[in-house]
Structure 1
Amino acid sequence: MKLNATQLTRQLKDGLAPVFVVSGDDPLLTGETADQIRHACRQAGCEERLVFHVDRSFDWGQLYDASHSLSLFAQQRLIELRIPGGKPGDEGGKALIAWLDTPPPDTTLLVTLPKLDGSAQRSKWAKTLIEHPASRFVQIWPIDAQQLPGWMRDRLAGAGIQASPEALELLSARVEGNLLAASQEIEKLKLFCNGGVLDAQTVQEAVADSARFDVFNLADSMLKGEAQQALRVLHGLRGEGVEAPVVLWAIARELRSLANMAQDLARGIPLERIFASQRPPVWDKRKPLLSKALQRHPAQAWEAWLSIAQQADEQIKGQHAGSAWDSLARIAVEVSGVRLKL
């Protein structure tokens, strides 16, 4: 069953479903939606939480074992299944369908995955996740440029701040569509607002130009094959205090897009048709850049870097050992064409 954000809130008030699926590409919106479900699980008494990360070597027997094992610590359990590549494969699809057909008692399954493309949505496993009565499928839609001022107005209002139209326009221009950066700027603006009113002058004084341009210069450098330049930009961003989630957001978005395009290319679909099928379609000036990157690496490589990006996300959250910046640097140089010896 498909749900929007409002319907999800009502569903969680009524009780937990056996399975929740959160699908989308924006890290802030998908993360907050998953957090909302986790909070509802805790409120319902879930004290035990298991997290599985699906990559090419994932053993789907682990999910079966988890569904048939008895909880030793709590009556309610939350099991998270994270699929950064967006496709569980034949074995994974069968495992998900089997779970839905016979959901284990006192257990909630939370599946997170990127936005499903057209071919994925037509697959049997995806249709089952979307349509099965035991499942609640939440599609996270991106906030476009026209919706961004309204989204920020509501976000600021939730923080007790009333913003002028001029302030919203200026703030929108500064963050350039990066919702994670927008959320961080709103948190800073709470310290600068007098009387809960935000005007353009306050934004001008308090909000530095978004690092998004430099972050996307990083993505362009690695796609061009300029490893040293990519590392210089990455180290510069870190030195300027740019948060790792902002950098990860930009890099992961490129990786997901290129992973899907590489899979289509491997199936023999012409590159121009692949570019035209993207939403939004690839700009002409970016086509040579993406073509070069796709010719340099096979589909498997893009999937491997998505797994490293997932690892960086876990490192940011303290769920995996090591430095997220080291993981980001590894992605940058390997996408540039330099293979590291690990």
Structure 2
Amino acid sequence: MRIFSDRLLDSLNKGLKHSYLLFGNEPLFVQESRQLITQQAKAQGFEEVHRFTIDNTLDWNDVFDCCQALSLFAQRQVIELLVPDSGINATISRSLAELQPLLHDDILLIISGSKLTRAQESAKWFKGFLNNGVHVSCATPDVQRLPQWVMQRCRKLNLKADGEAIQLLSQWHEGNLFALSQSLEKLSLLYPDGTLTLVRVQQALSRHNHFTAFHWIDALLAGKPNRAQRILRQLEAEGIEVIILLRTLQKELSQLIQMRHALGSMSIQQVFDKYRIWQSKKVLYNSALSRLDAQRLRGAMRQLTKTEILAKTQYDVSAWPLIQQLTIELCTTDNSLSFSS
């Protein structure tokens, strides 16, 4: 059975299945779906939870042993498997296929990861789990569907938002549903009557959303020009020192240049391991490395150096327009672009 994440609760209320496959590009939906399933499972006596990350260090025998640890006093168990960003290869597929026949009524399996390809959804292991399981689609709403999602979220929090407020919330967070969800929770506390107008939302977002240089860097890595420029405008308005931004960006560009060079002899996962990239940051770095070749990275570093010299020597000339230009050029997908001299 296949459902969207917003239909998961209805499905759970009809009874638990042996397995749940949570796949999609929206981390909030994956996280909330996992929480819903484990809460429902706990209410039905699944007391033990075993979590495994599928990587090179995983001993699959540990996973298989959880399914086979049967006794009169054994507790019902939840097994969670986190699929790596690199996806499911042939070795992982074989192990998952071996796991499927070991499931029974005292085991509930949750497999979560990023969006699957059509080929992966046609694989033997995937079809095997769907025989008595549920595939929960955790895709990010597109621009047209996002306001509808915001409206549904407001209803859950007993918020009454008008059309302009919903539109502003959708545009302000630019697809970051974690941040959007947190903003709605803050708004529910800020306005106990639950009424959200455009003016109220504008005032609240301006007051509560304070960005740092690291938010700007994340937007640059992700290639989101509108968000990056909005953060930059707020940082300028708050009076952050230009040199702090330039130093932060210099560190990231230096690492990206090194990572780009390393990709000549290593896989992307090996590069991430070598530079100890956090799991939550891998998507951002993957986006930057896919978008920016070595020539553009070196050009950005040269432009950054010139901007720093200007900031330190020409006190009557603002460096902010150059940083804005650098922001746009780092976010663009046009590899033929050459940084200004």
TM interval, shorter chain, is: 0.5 to 0.7
User: CA distance change for structure 1 residues 7 and 181 in 2, over 3 Å: closer, same or farther?
Assistant: closer
Distance 2:165 2:57 in 1: 49
Deviations 1:124-147 (A, max 9, x none): 333434xx3122111112111222
Q: Which has the larger radius of gyration?
A: 2
- The residue aligned with 1:75 is 75
Please list, as runs of the form range in 1=range in 2, the aligned pairs for 1:1-342 lying within 5 A after superposition.
1-5=1-5, 7-70=7-70, 75-85=75-85, 87-129=87-129, 132-193=130-191, 195-208=193-206, 211=211, 215=215, 217-218=217-218, 220=220, 296-297=262-263, 298-301=267-270, 304=273, 309-310=278-279
Q: Is the 8 A contact 1:18 1:109 kept in 2?
A: yes
Matched residue SS, 2:199: helix
Distance 1:154 1:50 in 2: 33
User: CA distance change for structure 1 residues 165 and 221 in 2, over 3 Å: closer, same or farther?
Assistant: closer
After superposing on structure 2, the runs of 4+ consecutive aligned residues of structure 1 that deviate more than 6 Å are 290-293
Distance 1:141 1:305 in 2: 30
Distance 2:190 2:106 in 1: 46
User: CA distance change for structure 1 residues 294 and 127 in 2, over 3 Å: closer, same or farther?
Assistant: farther
Deviations 1:27-85 (A, max 9, x none): 11111011110111011111111111111232212111111113687531111111123
Distance 2:105 2:73 in 1: 15
Distance 1:187 1:15 in 2: 30
Which blocks of at least 5 consecutive residues in structure 1 are unaligned?
224-232, 237-289, 313-326, 338-342
Moved more, 39-48 or 95-104: 95-104
User: CA distance change for structure 1 residues 7 and 98 in 2, over 3 Å: closer, same or farther?
Assistant: farther
Matched residue SS, 1:190: helix
Which AA in structure 2 matches 1:309? W
Distance 2:222 2:151 in 1: 35
Identity %: 28
Task: Tell me the TM-score normalized by structure 1.
Answer: 0.63
Deviations 1:96-150 (A, max 9, x none): 2222234234111111111112343343333434xx3122111112111222222
Offset at 1:156? Answer: 1.2
Q: Is the 8 A contact 2:2 2:134 kept in 1?
A: yes
Offset at 1:8? Answer: 3.0
User: CA distance change for structure 1 residues 73 and 113 in 2, over 3 Å: closer, same or farther?
Assistant: farther
Task: Tell me the TM-score normalized by structure 2.
Answer: 0.63
Distance 1:296 1:219 in 2: 23
- The residue aligned with 2:250 is none
Distance 1:212 1:128 in 2: 46
Task: Give the length in aligned residue pairs.
Answer: 253
User: CA distance change for structure 1 residues 96 and 303 in 2, over 3 Å: closer, same or farther?
Assistant: farther
Distance 1:15 1:303 in 2: 40
User: CA distance change for structure 1 residues 42 and 28 in 2, over 3 Å: closer, same or farther?
Assistant: same
Which AA in structure 1 matches 2:161? A
